[in-house]
């Protein structure tokens, strides 16, 4: 799927999806109809930025600024492609 | 069980047993009319708070028909304030666009609408109510208002041939998810099993239709389809394990590990009006009874798959063997598996359709209450 992921499009969490911090689990979770996924730290950092205002490329840029010691590009790209495949995120259509 | 209690994630609030529909596979107990009392708004709010404090994140408003409760709005607002992800599980009967809009504004996260069939005639016959057209109308409002939408088709012998049409209908209504929910044989469905359990041939045709749809469809809708466990060789990991993830509260305030457990004998389920959710979840005898593996007997006790399926479903074991500690008879390793095979065999003759269905309503339920009193249960 990676080859299909377009980093130039703005992305948002899919309709009905929400991220929040869960005290009981000491983790961020992604909530959606009748289900949830416990997120690791990096997944949460990426998904929190999928707010409809940024493109994949901008998210990578932001994360690289926050974590300057590692090259995140490939990992983030793979994660976003996977998240799209799982329907956690959607491309924002221009209105 | 000595280890830490598991983490509660799911709360199912069965707000009422009232329902304008009469689906013959309803998961409510046969004798629901014995329990007309309902928790008050304040009691529900306390349940919501206590379960949330324990870590519950997903909340289902169910029933009966949850829309019957006039305080649904108050409960939705409270659940949003507490940080739940709230799911309304409804027949959509009587739901207006205004009420739906209000629920959205109060923070309801998602709506699941049930359908009985893909045609008006069969749908309304199974529901014993005129609901099909309105359900479709409500589905369009759900999408218009920006909710994610799950459409749930409950599958059985009488409607399985419509599976391809159900999928097309879900696409047309722009469902985000479609659940092709195989009837589970508890409560009313168990009563009507002979008329509802599909034959192997029907299932093969249905599976072929779902496979074909999956090959041809490339849109965003997700499809969930599970075959009836009677046709499997291993049991389902029922509820993800007894009292492991989920807690169910009945309209009259009984806490259960699943919606069918109320029928299990010699277990006394605690009431939320007598105990806190924390006490119930962590300490009650009923919730601890089938946790872990200590309760198991042969063949489960030394089965390498016991951590995968937890011995299957306690209610199914009880319904078929009279003993809830048995392996789920769906399992090939169960000494009672013969029974399941016999039931499947009996699905082949098609004249079963001549037997009338028992519809779920108060009159029928009162009949079952009387029967259970006479038999001393």
Residue B138 has pLDDT above 50, yes or no: yes
B58 and A CB contact within 8 Å: yes
Cα B81 from Cα A19, distance rounded (Å)? 15
What is the rounded average pLDDT of the residues B105-121?
98
A22 interaction partners in chain B (CB closer than 8 Å): 55, 57
Residue A26, chain B, CB below 8 Å: the answer is no
**Mean of the pLDDT values across residues B306-327?**
94
State the pLDDT confidence band at B353, using cuts at 50, 70 and 90.
Answer: low
Query: B78-100, pLDDT tens digit by residue?
Result: 999 999 999 999 999 999 999 99
Please give the pLDDT value at position A1. 45
CA distances from B172 to B118, B127, B223 (A): 12, 22, 14
For an interface test with A, give the residue of B85, B90, B179, B220 to mutate (most A CBs within 10 A).
B85
**Residues B316, B328: contact at Cβ < 8 Å?**
yes
Distance CA B36, CA B177 (A): 34
Residue of A nearest to B12 (CA): A34
pLDDT over threshold 80, residue B193 = yes
- Rounded to 5°, the CA angle B260-B262-B267 comes to 125
Q: What is the pLDDT of residue B357?
A: 87
pLDDT at B352 over 60: no
pLDDT at B228: 86
Q: Residues B276-305: what's their mean pLDDT? A: 96
Chain A's closest residue to B56, CA to CA, is A24
Residue B372 in this model has a pLDDT that exceeds 90: no
pLDDT at B351 over 60: no
User: Domain segments of chain A: what residues?
Assistant: 2-87
pLDDT for B265 equals 87
SS3 B346: coil
Which of the four pLDDT bands, split at 50, 70 and 90, describes residue B354? low
Q: What is residue B267's three-state secondary structure?
A: coil
Q: Which of B57, B58, B147 sits opposite A16 (nearest CB)?
A: B147
Q: What CATH code is assigned to A2-87?
A: 3.90.930
Mean pLDDT, rounded, for B324-329 = 95
| Residue A3 reports pLDDT greater than 60 | no
Shortest CA distance from A14: residue in chain B: B148
Tens digit of pLDDT for each residue in A12-59? Answer: 999 999 999 999 899 999 999 988 999 999 999 999 999 999 999 999
Entry pTM: 0.93
Residue B222, pLDDT above cutoff 50:
yes
Q: Which residues of B touch A25 (CB under 8 A)?
A: 7, 55
Q: What is the number of CB-based contacts under 8 A between chain A and chain B?
A: 53
Cβ-based burial of B122 (10 A; exposed 0-12, middle 13-18, buried ≥19): middle
Is the pLDDT confidence value at A95 over 70?
A: no
Q: Does A8 have pLDDT greater than 80?
A: yes
What is the ipTM for the molecules in this complex?
0.89
Say if the Cβ atoms of B112 and A18 lie within 8 Å.
no
| Burial (CB count <10 Å: 0-12, 13-18, 19+), residue B342 | exposed
Q: Mean pLDDT of all residues in chain B?
A: 94
Q: Helices (DSSP H) in B128-256: which residue ranges?
A: 132-144, 163-172, 187-191, 193-196, 200-216
Tell me how close the Cα of B119 comes to any Cα of chain A, in angstroms. 26
Of the residues A21, A34, A83, the best mutation for testing chain B's interface (the one with the most B CB atoms within 10 Å of its CB) is A34
Distance from CA of B110 to the nearest CA of A (A): 6
User: Chain A contacts of B109, Cβ < 8 Å?
Assistant: 16, 18, 31, 33
Average the pLDDT over B38-61 and give the result.
Answer: 98
The per-residue pLDDT for B374 is 67
State the pLDDT at residue B112: 98
Per-residue pLDDT averaged across B190-201, rounded?
92
More confidently predicted of A1 and A46: A46
Query: Smallest CA–CA separation between A66 and chain B, in Å?
Result: 29
| CB-based contact, A36 to chain B, within 8 Å | yes
User: Cβ contact (<8 Å) for A16 and B7?
Assistant: no
Q: Residue B1: pLDDT above 50?
A: no
Q: In B343-359, which positions are buried (b, 16+ CB within 10 angstroms) versus exposed (e)?
A: bbeebeeeeeeeeebbb
Tell me the β-bridge partners of B59. B11, B86
* Residues of A whose CB is below 8 A from B147: 15-16
Name the percent of chain B lying above pLDDT 70: 96
Cross-chain Cβ contact B87/A34 below 8 Å: yes
Return the minimum-mean-pLDDT range out of A4-18, B75-89, B264-278.
Answer: A4-18
């Amino acid at each position: 799927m990676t080859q299909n992921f377009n980093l130039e499009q703005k992305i948002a969490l899919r309709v009905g999806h929400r991220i929040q911090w869960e005290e009981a689990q000491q983790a961020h979770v992604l909530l959606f109809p009748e289900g949830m996924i416990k997120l690791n730290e990096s997944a949460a950092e990426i998904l929190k930025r999928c707010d409809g205002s940024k493109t994949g490329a901008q998210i990578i840029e932001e994360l690289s600024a926050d974590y300057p010691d590692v090259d995140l590009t490939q990992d983030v790209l793979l994660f976003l492609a996977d998240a799209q495949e799982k329907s956690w995120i959607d491309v924002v259509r221009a209105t | 069980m000595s280890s830490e209690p598991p983490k509660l994630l799911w709360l199912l609030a069965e707000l009422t047993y009232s329902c304008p529909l009469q689906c013959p596979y309803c998961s409510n107990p046969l004798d629901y009319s014995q329990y007309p009392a309902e928790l008050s708004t304040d009691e529900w709010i306390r349940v919501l708070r206590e379960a949330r404090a324990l870590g519950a994140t997903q909340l289902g408003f169910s029933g009966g028909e949850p829309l019957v409760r006039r305080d649904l709005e108050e409960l939705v607002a409270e659940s949003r304030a507490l940080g739940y992800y709230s799911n309304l599980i409804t027949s959509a009967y009587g739901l207006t666009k205004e009420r739906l809009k209000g629920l959205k504004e109060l923070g309801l996260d998602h709506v699941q609408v049930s359908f009985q069939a893909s045609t008006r005639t069969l749908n309304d016959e199974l529901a014993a109510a005129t609901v099909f057209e309105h359900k479709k109308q409500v589905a369009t409002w759900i999408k218009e208002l920006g909710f994610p939408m799950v459409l749930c088709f409950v599958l059985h012998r009488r409607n399985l041939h419509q599976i391809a049409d159900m999928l097309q209908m879900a696409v047309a209504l722009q469902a985000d998810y479609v659940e092709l929910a195989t009837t589970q044989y508890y409560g009313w469905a168990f009563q009507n099993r002979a008329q509802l359990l599909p034959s192997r041939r029907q299932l093969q045709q249905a599976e072929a239709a779902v496979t074909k749809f999956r090959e041809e469809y490339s849109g965003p809708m997700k499809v969930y389809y599970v075959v009836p466990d009677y046709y499997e060789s291993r049991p389902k990991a029922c509820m993800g394990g007894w009292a492991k993830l989920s807690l169910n509260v009945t309209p009259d305030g009984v806490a259960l590990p699943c919606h069918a457990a109320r029928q299990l004998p010699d277990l006394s389920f605690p009431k939320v009006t007598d105990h806190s959710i924390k006490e119930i979840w962590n300490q009650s005898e009923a919730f601890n009874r089938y946790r872990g593996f200590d309760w198991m007997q042969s063949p489960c006790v030394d089965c390498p798959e016991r951590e995968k399926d937890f011995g299957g479903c306690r209610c199914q074991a009880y319904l078929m063997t009279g003993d809830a500690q048995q392996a789920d008879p769906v399992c090939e390793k169960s000494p009672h598996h013969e029974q399941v095979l016999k039931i499947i065999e009996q699905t082949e003759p098609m004249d079963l359709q001549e037997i009338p269905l028992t519809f779920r309503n108060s009159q029928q339920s009162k009949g079952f209450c009387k029967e259970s009193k006479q038999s001393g249960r």
